[in-house]
Structure 1
Amino acid sequence: MNTAVSTQVHASAAELEKAARRTHLTVFVLMMVVLIAAPFLGVYPVFMMKVMCFALFACAFNLLLGFGGLLSFGHAMFLGGAGYAAAHSAKVWGFTPELAVLFATACTAALGWVTGLLAIRRQGIYFAMITLALAQMVFFFSLQAPFTHGEDGIQAVPRGKLFGLIDLSQPSAMYIFVLLIFVIGFALIYRIVHSPFGQVLQAIRENEARAISLGYDADKFKHRAYVLSATLSGLAGATKAILFQLASLTDVHWGMSGEVVLMTLVGGMGTIFGPVVGAAVIVTMQNYLAELGAWVTVVQGVIFVICVLLFRRGIVGEIGNWLKKSL
């Protein structure tokens, strides 16, 4: 009898997982259609590329917060740090764009590994404060270091030729390059979340004491999640620096860490597609409300309050709850 019940439970769980994967595939295809068709529908390509860079950044942050339960206030150090590494290697050392992005991503992986060893020793608000303090150290280093050029940043970064063949100064080539990086990063995050590692990470988020009692090293899993999140954030930052041909203090400032938290919460923390929607909403607001100046921050705050009060799961989270589907 018990065997029959267990078999039914496993079969039901398998069916639910298949249904969730079908839903995710459908939404992913729709997202790709939008991203590919947008330039042909009159949407400014640079705007869409900016959305994709920040969407990847938000997805990487969501890996740590939404699935790992770790709130970081210092993720700007990975976005901005990778931007400086990519810009310097491309402009001064003459790296091709793919090498500059890979080099910058490797640098943020190393930075994430080191800072993670320090931050992961604490939990909750203490973890958040340590990451903020580390990010401020990186900010002041970026302000004072000679190669970053202080408040001027690294300007006129050459986009170069991809693999020495494809000229990224062409808008269409650059768009495809950014799109491919976003898709690769998004697919990698999806695979991580749905891997055994991701399942253990979520178990630690839900009940760390029970996960430890089952024999899992919680600190090791959290540190790996932190490094992965840092690495993918760096990938987004390096791509953004090549795209805008600029690395500046804006991306390494603490305000950027706040923005990625806002993107994740507005879109839907702990969802697959929520950070993408959240990034699109915030970037759209910044782009089309730019004429309001400093009032953009006020508008963002109002929208954030509305989302917290009316959409506690975020935009995608509420839609998924309404449709009774995992998004």
Structure 2
Amino acid sequence: MLQQHLKKRIGLPCTKSVLLSMALLCSGWLFAQQSLTVKGLVTKSNNTPIEGVSVTVKNGTNGTATDASGAYSLETTNEAVLVFSATGFNAQEVRVNNRGIINITLIDSVRMLDEVVSIGYSRLRKSDITGAVSSVKAKELNLSSPTLSQALVGKVAGVQVSQVSGAPYAGAKIRVRGIGSINASSEPLYVIDGYPLGGNISQGQGNGGNGTGGYNPNTGGNDIFINPDDIESIEILKDAASAAIYGSRASGGVVIITTKRGKQGKGQLQYDYQLSLQQMANKVDLLNSTEFAQLFIDGRNANYKDILISKGIAWNDAFYSDD
């Protein structure tokens, strides 16, 4: 009985100390994993907000994305590591360290993304295309040009663009494969947002009536009336593979135009302006009203012979004489 009583007295303090140590460890672990809400902004190097940046917890499941103003809010722990990633930018990892506001500046990635082009029936990576396709993006176009053909001058290898008239907004001839026939047309086929335009569409008489959509190859050019500012990309199919997609209409090549469209996010306003000044190199000396009237009278009187003047002398008796 005495031995058992001693064991109980000796074991009682030991049990209390173990329980106390476990309680302290649990409370410390709970304190270390205390949750908090982290907020902040994600911007570029020029302080422009970035929309759609993925903000996730490393080795975790929760995450969020930035809105149109670049702001985010995420519920996490004070020792978590946040990963910020977006297409075209280098990913960054930041430890929370019990901070409630974390602002991040993402750096542009130097890696080249795979360029995607349209080939008529699908969109493929340019590295996977075996045909002859040239692509022109909107930023490469000369947006100051009033017509599409003028904006393509010097932008595509193997495509000839020639101006046929000096009139304002006059169309230019585009030859993708040169002149392939004497009688048949060498005009390329235009495909706008997947809709092919036939060669019988002329300015002012489109399929919808009195619109201005289309081109007229018989008026000195084969231009289409689309504002270059509304174009997102242009793909030109130059080889015979385009005929397998669009048939004989594509014998002169295919110009695939993708126009801009609305995107998700906050609305933005963009505008372009151009200011130019021209002066005449040499002015023609013209007549005023009085001088023109006198010139007209003098020219009219020159048709009548004055009978009061003598018959004159014979300048050449052999060939000419007033007698």
TM-score by length of 1: 0.20
TM-score by length of 2: 0.20
